[in-house]
Structure 1
Amino acid sequence: MFQIVQRYYLRAPILLRLLIVIFLLTIIFGVLLFFLERETFPHFFDAIWWAVITATTVGYGDYVPMTIAGRVLAIIVVLLGLGFFTYFVTHIAGAAIVEKKSAKKGTLSSHFKDHYIIVGWNERSKQFIEQMKRTYMEHSVVLIDQTLDESPFFHQKGFQFIKGNPTFEKTLQKANIKEARALIITAGKEMSEQTADAHSILTLLAAKHCKSDLYVSLEILTDEQISNAKHAGADEIIASNFLASLLMKESMEQQGIADLLLLLLDSTDLPQLQTLPCPHEWMHKSFLEGRQLAHKQHQILLGIRRNGKILTHPNESILLSKEDTLFLLSLPEPENR
């Protein structure tokens, strides 16, 4: 029995072991004083109270040992209390400092839940985090990067930096990927486009191995790797180079289209393009009825996503189901003139 207790005691954290020692010493000295001075301490709890107050060097003076043996015991309690409690407080303070340094250096594991994980520190991820601050403050963000030496947002609540290679399962586990809401993988800024895409797909495979149902949005730079990203399990692919070139092309002939798309995608103001699961009250209604319901809420139902396909102009008689994702354009309320 003693060996079992000793084994569990030695495995316990140092602060817990210290608290156990302090507790036992307080009980022991309280019991000794209770038997030494029954008149001064008529109740057992009074002796325990005195031992705690004396060991913490508070010393209210409501109980004072009267015998020589009692006062010698009090001296021992004060000396032990100074040592143990001082060590206890300094150890807590030291642990807090170490934790802050670890968080700043990115070596501290995350305990966030329902959070976003973004891979790679670049201008795109920086803009993503700025957008998150303004629109979705209820969700925390964990940044994984192996090029940074310190956290770029150390003093900001709800944001954490993890230093490490995102293709390693250990790094993803430190970001608490099993409790994550979604993962965003950006292309590496210090690699060639082909190498960056290969690294991103490798990160995607590692993430899906850790959590197969995690929603992953992946940035791809080259057209050749889009099909590979789909086969690897990417839920959404952002072909950033293709999108940028498409916008540049269309803006030459259709002036203002880039500004319009930025306006629709900016979640800080209306009009706003958004997606949401089919509401329960919309289920089993036709697409035409869905448009009418959306109109009453100052929205335009643009289309649906069903079985991985986007239908921008489905048959008006098609019935909406719980598997559908709706594409809605939220509009400001009309002004009364």
Structure 2
Amino acid sequence: MNLETFKHIFYRLPVVVRLLIAISVLMLFFGGAIHLLEPRQFSSLFDGIWWAFVTGATVGYGDFAPITVPGRLVGILLILSGGGMLTFYITTLAAKTINHESELSEGKVAFKGKNHIVVIGWNERTKQLADMIADKRDDQEVVLIDRTLDELNFQNYPVHFIHGDPSEDAVLVQANIQEAASVLISADTTAQKERQADNNTILATVAVRGNNQVVPINAEILTISQTENAVRAGADTVISSNDFMSTLLYHELFHKKQTRPFETVLNLLNKQQFAHIELPHELNGRSFKQAVPFFLKNHELLLGFIRDSEWIINPSEETALQDNDMLIILTDWA
């Protein structure tokens, strides 16, 4: 390796690594020099290197010390050069740590983990989602992509923040989209019109699907007319938040007395989850009434089934279950 090649490689290394190499070479040089000048006082090369590090760091244990004039001159040179370099290394390391934390909060640090959830868009909904994940699944890593935030403190919200446009490949690469377990694209609350928000969601969906062909994508759509476009773009699940809220508001306006629909749904989803399962073979041809106890023994509640794309909820007790029915059950989160 010639000098130019060495310089090309060396100066491409991080500053902290370069300093560490320089300090190691310097301490090796002074340790070897004192060992050669005073072999009785420093009987091994390691003793010389140990003395060089202790002296250069201005610790000065006193277990080794030069006694000859040449040895003491080497000690003086070490104090003048090595001490400053060690101090510079420590301050550089501290500065790098602080700078890394600053870049992390500004969304400039790429995510290197795997099996994480990528959340696109920062709003009140995703804030609460981040809190719920941290509370219920503290081992799940979340990566947030947002172009409107200038800074997000990790201590306040336990998510890895990536600043940028989610429709750009470079930003998705920073979020390590190839290794993501799932993606949630929240509606853009900064858009002036709902249709524009949906266009942003669809554009982000196309970009994500282009970078990862298999990752599940959950996209929030505000206008019904854009639902099919979101599916065409690659969304596996389209969340029509306006439809959900409209239905819930209708229930709040016209519910029966002594009923609180919103609080009921909220508490239900906080403690239980819906699951779709294929009809067990032993229930084929059985009535809905006969199938209910089958799930109750596992602390699960049968709500209905999906047959030929038709959702049948709370059917009559004599309704016969058929092969290929997809059952809808309510079960624990575990």
CA contact (8 A) 1:167 1:202 kept: yes
Alignment of 1:105-144 (within 5 A): 105-144=106-145
Residue 166 (1) aligns with residue 166 (2): yes
1:159-197 deviation line (CA, Å, top 9, x unaligned): 122221111111222222222221111111122011110
- Report the more deviating stretch, 3-12 or 51-60: 3-12
Alignment of 1:40-79 (within 5 A): 40-79=41-80
Between the aligned partners of 2:166 and 2:309, the Cα distance in structure 1 is 27
Between the aligned partners of 2:312 and 2:52, the Cα distance in structure 1 is 76
Q: Percent identity?
A: 33
Shift of 1:68: 0.4
> Counterpart amino acid of 1:263?
N
Q: Which residue of 2 aligns with 1:297?
A: 298
SS in 1 for 2:188: coil
Unpaired segments of 5 or more residues in structure 1? 333-337
1:12-65 deviation line (CA, Å, top 9, x unaligned): 222212111111121121111111112212223222221222122221111111
> Counterpart amino acid of 2:108?
T
Q: Which residue of 2 aligns with 1:275?
A: 275
SS in 1 for 2:11: helix
Q: Which residue of 1 aligns with 2:264?
A: 260
Shift of 1:201: 0.1
Between the aligned partners of 2:97 and 2:70, the Cα distance in structure 1 is 40
Q: Which residue of 2 aligns with 1:335?
A: none
State the Cα RMSD in Å. 3.0
> Counterpart amino acid of 2:190?
E
Shift of 1:315: 5.7
Between the aligned partners of 1:146 and 1:43, the Cα distance in structure 2 is 59
> Counterpart amino acid of 1:180?
A
- Report the more deviating stretch, 45-54 or 5-14: 5-14
1:58-116 deviation line (CA, Å, top 9, x unaligned): 21111111110000001111122211111111111111111121122222222343222
1:224-267 deviation line (CA, Å, top 9, x unaligned): 1011111111111111111111222234343334333222212x
Between the aligned partners of 2:241 and 2:105, the Cα distance in structure 1 is 31
SS in 2 for 1:143: strand
- Report the more deviating stretch, 206-215 or 297-306: 297-306
SS in 1 for 2:28: helix
1:247-293 deviation line (CA, Å, top 9, x unaligned): 22234343334333222212xx3xx1233778xxx976546698655
Alignment of 1:202-213 (within 5 A): 202-213=203-214
Check 1:308–1:54 CA distance in 2 against 1; reply closer, same or farther (3 A cut): farther
* Number of residue pairs matched by the alignment: 320
> Counterpart amino acid of 1:176?
N
Residue 221 (1) aligns with residue 222 (2): yes
Given the two structures, how large is their TM-score scaled by the length of structure 2?
Answer: 0.84
Check 1:232–1:80 CA distance in 2 against 1; reply closer, same or farther (3 A cut): same
- Report the more deviating stretch, 251-260 or 113-122: 251-260
